[in-house]
Amino acid sequence: MKKLLSIFMVLVLGFSLMAQTDTTKKSSPPTGWKFGGALPALSYNTDVGFRYGAIGYVFDWGDGSLYPDYLRSIYLEASNTTKGSGIYRINYDDKAFLGSNVRMLLDFGYYIEQALDFYGFNGYESVFHPDWMTTGTGTYKSRMFYRMDRRTLRFMPDFQIPLQGNKLRLYAGIGYLGIKINSVNIDKLNRGKDPADMLPSVDSVPGLYELYQKWGVIEADEAHGGNMGMMKLGLIYDTRDNEPMPNKGMWEEVFFVSGMDFAHPKKYRYLELVLTHRQYFTILPKKLIFAYRGSVNYVLAGRAPFYMLPFYFNTKENIQDGFGGAKTIRGIMRDRLIADGVAFGNLEMRWRVLNTKVLGQDFYIALSAFADGGIILKRHDYNLNFNVAPSAGYTPDMFFVSDPQIIKQPHIGYGGGIRFALNENFIVAVDYGKALNKQDGSSGLYIGLNWLF
């Protein structure tokens, strides 16, 4: 019921925006700084639950000649989800930084994950037991067994400097991530619950995060997060005909990420390569588009602490949670692939089944079919001192697969989606994906904005 309600609310939001935009379209183009409006932040994601809150936009339209494009924008968000996550974020996009042709994207935010997914390292090398999280089974342990608490303070200014027109751009940035990780706050989650529905404490039933600390898989100096300084440098090559839904062209990124934990600069210091290729083909003009994406995130040197491995870097949004879930491999569990080297890809057919006008504005409905997949390229090495009291009933094979070939097996999700788009750039998105292997979960429903790539 919550899923259906969230879909309905998002669609109502989209059509209410049509009426607002119609007024703008009939008048002369806006100029200067204008308040773009405050809107409900409504979406649904199997990984994080139903999101509710508010977002606001402010635009600098310049002299109006670029409309519907803008010179600068400010995006504000304050939202929470039914699964305990929260976003408090300011994003500033300046396409004419200090009067130049340099683009600056500044992201500042605080992110709360009350129950962040954690399934171990190296994909299938770590065994997943869904029954341990399912009440009523004889093997039930806790609904929070594969969860931990993460709080992230993020500050990231990035710059894109044209080198050849606007197609080839130098990409450079710095950043700071302040990450705090702890056990899930069981007492908070149990407030107001009936005794039969209460979660066991981590002292009586430790989860995977607690067990990994006990066994030395997660070392003490990285177990509770850290303060990470970052630098990024690389190139972007972009020949897309438009950003919201490209019909043709390609979008390439290759850059290096250098990270260092300020408290342990000698131990946790690393260099990572990020390589992403996206390409778009028109099969039938204004009707059928084929798009695909391939991406590699690979630690070339040094050691990255475990709390940095779930992040997927890109130039569109600086940094996102991955690998698995809404933004990378739809249908499989979020953060199922955590390793020093991960590759993933997406194949997607996009069919615009309806192109029309609503209130005098362009409007389309599109269906999509997709197949997503990922694979481990480089293991995350760890120590293991499997020293558990016999009464706990655990054996190593319950958690770790000894076959080194297991990590070479791909993680695959597949499914379809629908898009409702106004004037090509306001796009309400619904995707549903299924996992091919039960070790990756069952399925995922994702409701939000825009095409995935």
The rounded distance, in Å, linking the Cα atoms of 406 and 123 is: 8
Scan for tokens 């690393």, then name that residue: 270
Q: Angle at Cα 445 formed by Cα 424 and Cα 436, nearest 5°?
A: 115
Residue recorded with tokens 């037991």: 129
Alpha-carbon gap, residue 299 to 257, rounded angstroms: 9
The per-residue pLDDT for range 391-426, each reduced to its tens digit, is 468 888 999 998 999 999 999 999 999 999 887 767
Taking only the tens place, the pLDDT of each residue in 73-132 is 898 889 888 777 898 999 999 999 988 899 999 999 999 999 999 999 999 999 999 999
* Residue 35 pLDDT: 74
Task: State the distance between the two ends of the chain, measured CA to CA, in whole angstroms.
Answer: 29
Predicted pLDDT at 58: 83
How far apart (Å, rounded) are the C-alpha atoms in residues 53 and 47?
18
Query: Which pLDDT belongs to residue 67?
Result: 72
Number of domains in the chain: 1
pLDDT tens, 167-179? 999 999 999 999 9
Closest CA to 258 of 377, 173, 381, 155: 173
DSSP string covering 99-111, please?
Answer: GSS-EEEEEEEEE
Q: Is 237 helix (H, G, I), strand (E, B) or coil?
A: strand
Q: What is the pLDDT of residues 134-187, one digit of tens each?
A: 988 889 999 999 999 999 999 999 999 999 788 999 999 999 999 999 999 999
Angle, CA of 3, 290 and 14, to the nearest 5° = 35
Whichever domain contains 375, its CATH number is: 2.40.160.50
Looking at residue 24, what is its pLDDT?
42
- Give the C-alpha separation, 322 to 87, whole Å: 17
Whole domain around residue 103: which residue ranges?
Answer: 2-449
What pLDDT sits at residue 9?
Answer: 46
Q: For 441, how many CA atoms within 13 A lie in the half-sphere containing its CB?
A: 26
Helix (H) or strand (E) holding 225: strand 225-238
Segment 61-81 mean pLDDT: 84
